Amino acid sequence: MDTFDHKPWPSVSEEEIAVTDVVAMAVRSAMEDFRSAGNLNHGQMATVNRTIRNAILTALYAVGNCDDRRCRAFVTFLQLAKPGNWERPELLDSLKGITDGMAFDRLDEFHEPGE
């Protein structure tokens, strides 16, 4: 018996894409030391980055669309599948090491891509 809807999927929002880009860049930056230590070559890293971006977008999309039964089922499955011994996530030193926002004041001068 097919219990899932056959209706179209909700659209992916520009906000979901923008948040995915930020999260994926944080992951990519955190993985750079791992890659540069010889664990991955550039081609492998490109594949890993693409997989990570797609997984992040999928998770954000599913969480944001839990009113859709398919997305709710996906999120529930991931919650149940999480290993019990996972460590609690922690903030990266790349953020915690910022002690003065003055160094980043000039970033306000930059514009969004395409502007």
- The residues, any chain, with a CB within 8 Å of residue 71's CB and separated by 6 or more, are 61, 62, 63, 64, 65
Do 75 and 66 touch, CB atoms closer than 8 A? Answer: yes
User: Which residues, 6+ apart, have CB-to-CB distance to 59 below 8 Å?
Assistant: 75, 78
The model carries a pTM of 0.77
**Distance of alpha carbon 25 from alpha carbon 53, whole angstroms:** 9
The answer to whether 64 and 43 are in contact (CB under 8 A) is no
Question: Can you give the pLDDT of all 115 residues of the chain as single tens digits?
Answer: 455 567 899 899 999 999 999 999 999 999 988 888 999 998 999 999 999 999 999 999 999 999 999 999 999 999 999 999 999 989 998 888 877 666 666 666 666 665 5
pLDDT in tens, 89-112: 899 988 888 776 666 666 666 666
Looking up tokens 């490109």, which residue turns up? 46
List the one residue out of 45, 44, 15 whose CA is nearest residue 32: 45
Integer CA distances (angstroms), 62 to 11, 42, 83, in order: 11, 30, 20
**Where do the domains of the chain lie?**
14-83
